[in-house]
Chain A
């Protein structure tokens, strides 16, 4: 039989691990060079491994949808006439998919509007809890991504790169508590800072606004420039008037993101 370790040994080991935890947190917080590369490797590994662990479950959750679609198709094929209709429908669907593909390719073109090169990245892992609201993408420093690069989807700003590893990066969403984005609001281009706030209905609030300002319903919000990191004029959302208050309405759904674009420096 395997001998039990004495309690004092266990306590020493526990204290040692606790001490290592504090040292790790301190080194990470102080952005120490000793841990930077190691952390990048850990983050890359965790991101890709979790993606491949999660993927089968994601496929399983898609089974009911696939099954429903299949049973619907089966019924349609029972009748010859219906079959013809289905074929024509499929042709239409095919056209639609072609258009969808064209649209996808045009996203790349559209995002060139910002006169910055962009990189298309796949979302690996979503993290949304009381600690953070972010996601991991499959592009990193080896692809030219830097901290602060804006992340967009269909020309709407989703957030910024907050952490870069070798082959993956973390995108902090606008709704994250630690997100700070300088913005320009409405026709008069009032300046302000958009801050993530869980207590707000829209998940964000506007701070550091000028002393006197007057918003209007449907006023659009764009990014304001930060040196060469964040370009000016990326669309974020619009203001909606509700009970004498203004809420920020985003154009894009922050869930179920598959691919995003990262605007990189020229």
Chain B
């Protein structure tokens, strides 16, 4: 019987998102008061990228657990980030199956639509739970995330996915 090769991609992608979540605590020490996460949401970008391009990297359960950890660290009510990550994951998979990705522009617009839905859901949940939010900050974060997607797309595409191709070649 052929030996099933264990795949750690799931763990690796979760770890990347977790490090991104923890990064502000590191950058606060290193760079003072510069907060890049105010201008874009790197967690959303990474989750969307991997869900859309290689959706097998994430599983719904790992995103659920990741969301709980993020909520616990940020101080949100438990479940808000989980639902945001799950919705983003589901939209990305749906967009992938209807073949949006033929050209990059359509992937980019699809990303914009996906995170728009997620931000709206988050704002509604914050409103319903009585948490005060700054809509202007959310709008800026949405615009920043949307505009910075191509930059991160290039970085992720040409580093992480090439690494993956290299590992596949090695296995063969």
Contact = CB atoms under 8 A, between A and B. Distances in A.
A50 interface: yes
Q: How large is the interface on B (under 10, 10 to 19, 20 to 34, 35 or more residues)?
A: 35 or more
Contacts of B98: none
Interface in B58-99: 60-61, 64, 67-69, 72-80, 82-83, 86-87, 90
Interface stretch (A86-94, A130-138, A210-218): A130-138
B138 interface: yes
B78 A24 contact: yes
Contact of A256 (B29, B38, B82, B133): B29
Given A1-B4, A2-B4, A21-B82, A129 B75 contact: no
Contacts of A25: 77-80, 83, 125, 129
Contact of B28 (A1, A47, A126, A162): A126
Interface stretch (A12-20, A95-103, A140-148): A12-20
Interface string A1-37: 1100000001001100110111111011100000100
Given A25-B78, A255-B28, A130 B129 contact: no
B13 interface: no
A80 interface: no
A53 B22 CA distance: 8
Given A54-B22, A128-B28, A17 B74 contact: no
Interface string A158-187: 000011000000101000011000000000
A261 to B, nearest CB: 20
Majority DSSP secondary structure for residues of B touching A: helix
B129 A29 contact: yes
B72 A17 contact: no
Contacts of A223: none
A243 interface: no
A29 B77 contact: yes
Contact of B72 (A23, A43, A54, A62): A43
Nearest to B130: A29
Contacts of B131: 178
A132 B82 contact: no
Contact of A199 (B4, B26, B33, B134): B134
A266 B132 CA distance: 32
Given A17-B60, A17-B61, A50-B25, A255 B32 contact: yes
A79 interface: no
Contacts of A177: 132-134
Contacts of A50: 22, 25, 73
Interface string A90-132: 0000000000000000000000000000000000011111111
B133 to A, nearest CB: 7
A58 interface: yes
Contact of B24 (A2, A22, A53, A126): A126
A28 B67 CA distance: 14
B89 to A, nearest CB: 8
Interface in A199-243: 199
B142 to A, nearest CB: 10
A73 interface: no
9 shortest A-B CB distances, which residue pairs?
A24-B79, A25-B79, A61-B30, A21-B79, A46-B72, A21-B83, A28-B77, A130-B137, A57-B26
Interface of B: 2, 4, 18-19, 22, 24-26, 28-30, 32-33, 35, 37-38, 60-61, 64, 67-69, 72-80, 82-83, 86-87, 90, 125, 129-134, 136-138, 141
12 contacts: A1-B2, A10-B60, A17-B61, A18-B86, A47-B72, A58-B25, A61-B30, A125-B25, A130-B137, A131-B75, A170-B75, A199-B134
Given A28-B77, A128-B28, A130-B133, 19 more contacts: A1-B2, A21-B67, A21-B86, A24-B77, A24-B82, A25-B79, A25-B129, A29-B77, A35-B78, A46-B72, A54-B22, A125-B22, A126-B28, A128-B37, A129-B38, A132-B76, A162-B75, A198-B136, A256-B32
